[in-house]
Structure 1
Amino acid sequence: MPSSLDVPSEHVVATLFYRSDTPSHAVPHADASPRSRHDFLPHASLDSLKHGAAPTEKISEYPLEPPTPGPSPLDHLYGSYISQSCLTDFFVTLTNIIPGLLDTSITTRRLDNSALSRVAEISFPLPRTSSITLETLRRHDAISRFEREWNIEAVFQPDTIYRRYKRLAVFDMDSTLISQEVIDEIAALVHIKPAIAAITAAAMNGELDFETSLRQRCALLRGTPSSVWETLKPRITLNEGVPELVAALKRLGFKTAVLSGGFTPLAEWIAERLGLDYVFANHLVVSPDGATLTGELEGEIVHAERKREHVLRIAQMEGIRLEQVVCVGDGANDLPMMGVAGLGVAFHAKPTVQMQAPARLNSRSMLDVLYLLGITREEQEVLLR
């Protein structure tokens, strides 16, 4: 039987992330966030061992049925990291999916230079004659099962020079660069959160489009003091790893942009704080005396299609190929811009967005985006010195 190397092929790279913030192993990975919840196994005391380690002596408290069947948490057995057993299982999974793929043609690189690796990069050929595509791999049931069993997230990309040498990074703002949703923060300040939430829910249920829901929510802000932006700034927090990621990208010569369905005052403040090159957001009108917000929007609305158009326009102005663009967001309105980029990343996104996005990343730090570009931990440390 011919191997995948006997026919023209393209190469694919899979970046595996161990989900170190949610291990089923008793000992967390060294990179796990100290803010995360870990379910440690209880330590048996000497006293309890003398009397037996059964959890109860009452027959009525024993379960009548076995636990619900599901994938075994193999990281619990093999360790809170990407073990060799995990990699071997991934190779087997790939060879079962891709006809003709031999495990001898698969290469591995650990990106965090550690025996207890959290991130690994696996490269392999994908025959152009094969019915298996990159999209098939991303959605394949066997890959999903592997991810659940080993507590792994796998990101698949074409392994080309443009994957390694990106030149433009574009970010959503709310819940991506920052932890907050700005309109919800304003609503909480002026005590209209339930009304705002009702419109948001209608939009999520498909009863309103983004622009209509945005205009309705903004109308509720009429009379809000225009000083609200300064009041909000101390409450805004950058997501973990954001300053470091932007600093590293700028060291590499990237152009950077924030495209926000939020509002100009905070988007421009975030852009200045991080040193971003481009910023586009929605503009809320201020009353003639400058004291309050009118609840109206002026100028173009930065909705999903507008974000996509801005990505195309910035790339064209900078002379950057779309294959060299990475877009990061968390909402459905970020999917169109992700779709035109060489790499679209759903970062801690809503479940429906994670299902549709080219790549998803749920690690605690956005700095992990650098691993998707093939940049090792050692190289990251050099960039951040």
Structure 2
Amino acid sequence: MDHVLTLIAPRGGLSAAMLHRAREALAALGAAAGTPDWLAPEEAADLPFAGLSPDQADAAARAALTGEAVDIIAQDTAGRRKRMLIADMDSTIVTTETLDELAGQAGIKDRIAAITKRAMNGELDFEGALRERVGMLKGLEVAALERTWEETELMPGARELVATMRAAGARCALVSGGFTYFTGRVAALVGFHEHHSNTLLEAEGRLTGHVAEPILGRNAKLATLKRLAAEDGLALAETLAVGDGANDLDMIKAAGLGVAFRAKPVVAAAARARVDHGDLRALLFAQGYRAAEFAGS
């Protein structure tokens, strides 16, 4: 069949009954639905179908599974496995907003986090908001960066996502509105081929309150996706982009599989695919990988 509906839940949270309800919802609209294929027991399964568009199937399955902690991704079967991964860092590959955590070292986390929240939901210009937040850190000792890094945790599934896609030959890039101090360490730890981000300026062991220009923001993330795809001779349909904030939205919309991951409301509403409940392994299931194929766990 030419389309597939993938259901993904936190481990142990997906039942055969849920699959049956989704299958019945598609059938009620006249679709031909095939036999479910479990990608991981009680965690992820594919439901092949024909006769509906992916958007129609997505809406029908969501209506049938209202209230369930399950993620639903409907797409074409052809070309599911992507040849490039472009990932945001903060609240995507790592669990926190590193700038907010760095602000905690200066005792102003709440003030900066409030600006971050508005910027990530598209209420503020990203570049201006970044300059404002960095300016509030003027004079903070550079050693605070290392203390922040020591407390930074990876999002569950990050290593498996990158290692599995690398093993399949995909180029993996970390593209962040955050800072090179963190993206370089995250890229090395997780296994990204490269990282692109902003640079905090420092002098005499303290932050100057400035960030190097030009700032890597929303437009630059999209431009990086297009440039890296062109370098590898890939169509955008062959790429996967994932992020949570408004500055990720253009690259998410442009990618062949664009995923809003535990995203801000404006991003979740606009993205074609979203993951609200699962971890980053969900991006592998969405590409049809079975848990037995995962690397890096």
Is the Cα–Cα contact under 8 Å of residues 200 and 212 in structure 2 kept in the other structure?
yes
Q: Determine if the alignment matches structure 1 residue 163 to structure 2 residue 94.
A: no
Map of 1:86 onto structure 2:
18
Unaligned runs of 5+ in 2: none
- Residue 349 of structure 1: CA displacement? 1.6
- Residue 201 of structure 1: CA displacement? 5.2
Q: Determine if the alignment matches structure 1 residue 108 to structure 2 residue 18.
A: no
For the pair shown, the structure with the greater C-alpha radius of gyration is: 1
Q: Which amino acid aligns with 1:12?
A: H
Map of 1:11 onto structure 2:
2
- Residue 198 of structure 1: CA displacement? 4.2
Q: 1:177 aligns with which of 80, 93, 98?
A: 93
Q: Determine if the alignment matches structure 1 residue 190 to structure 2 residue 106.
A: yes
Map of 2:54 onto structure 1:
134
Is the Cα–Cα contact under 8 Å of residues 180 and 236 in structure 1 kept in the other structure?
yes
Map of 1:285 onto structure 2:
201
Q: Determine if the alignment matches structure 1 residue 147 to structure 2 residue 65.
A: yes
Q: Which amino acid aligns with 2:130?
A: L
Q: 1:371 to 1:199 in 2, by over 3 A?
A: closer
Q: Secondary structure at the match of 2:14?
A: coil
Mapping 1:1-385, distance limit 5 Å: 11-17=2-8, 19-20=9-10, 31-32=11-12, 81-83=14-16, 85-97=17-29, 99=30, 101-103=31-33, 106-112=34-40, 114=41, 117-126=42-51, 133-138=53-58, 140=59, 142-148=60-66, 150-160=68-78, 162-164=79-81, 166-200=82-116, 203=119, 208-287=124-203, 290-380=204-294, 383-384=295-296
Distance 1:248 1:82 in 2: 26
Q: 1:221 to 1:145 in 2, by over 3 A?
A: same
Distance 1:12 1:149 in 2: 25
Provide the aligned length of Structure 1 versus Structure 2. 297
Map of 1:55 onto structure 2:
none
Distance 1:168 1:349 in 2: 21
Q: Which amino acid aligns with 2:282?
A: D
Distance 1:205 1:233 in 2: 25
Is the Cα–Cα contact under 8 Å of residues 146 and 152 in structure 1 kept in the other structure?
no
Distance 2:27 2:263 in 1: 30
Q: 1:317 to 1:331 in 2, by over 3 A?
A: same
Q: 1:93 to 1:259 in 2, by over 3 A?
A: same
Q: Secondary structure at the match of 1:299?
A: coil
- Residue 230 of structure 1: CA displacement? 1.7
Q: Secondary structure at the match of 2:201?
A: strand
Distance 1:88 1:198 in 2: 43
Is the Cα–Cα contact under 8 Å of residues 179 and 200 in structure 2 kept in the other structure?
yes
Q: Which amino acid aligns with 2:80?
A: R
Scaled by the length of structure 2, the TM-score of the pair is 0.91
Is the Cα–Cα contact under 8 Å of residues 39 and 285 in structure 2 kept in the other structure?
yes
Query: Structure 1 vs Structure 2: percent identity of aligned residues?
Result: 33
- Residue 207 of structure 1: CA displacement? 5.3
Unaligned runs of 5+ in 1: 1-9, 21-30, 33-79, 127-131
Map of 1:46 onto structure 2:
none
- Runs of 4+ displaced beyond 4 Å: 204-207
Map of 1:4 onto structure 2:
none
Distance 1:150 1:193 in 2: 34
Distance 1:198 1:181 in 2: 12
- Residue 228 of structure 1: CA displacement? 2.2
- Residue 328 of structure 1: CA displacement? 1.3
Q: Which amino acid aligns with 1:225?
A: E
Q: 1:281 to 1:94 in 2, by over 3 A?
A: same
Query: Which protein has greater RCO, CA pairs closer than 8 Å, 6+ apart?
Result: 2
Distance 1:375 1:204 in 2: 30
Q: Secondary structure at the match of 1:123?
A: strand
- Residue 232 of structure 1: CA displacement? 1.6
Scaled by the length of structure 1, the TM-score of the pair is 0.71
- Residue 307 of structure 1: CA displacement? 0.4
How large is the Cα RMSD of the aligned pairs? 2.2
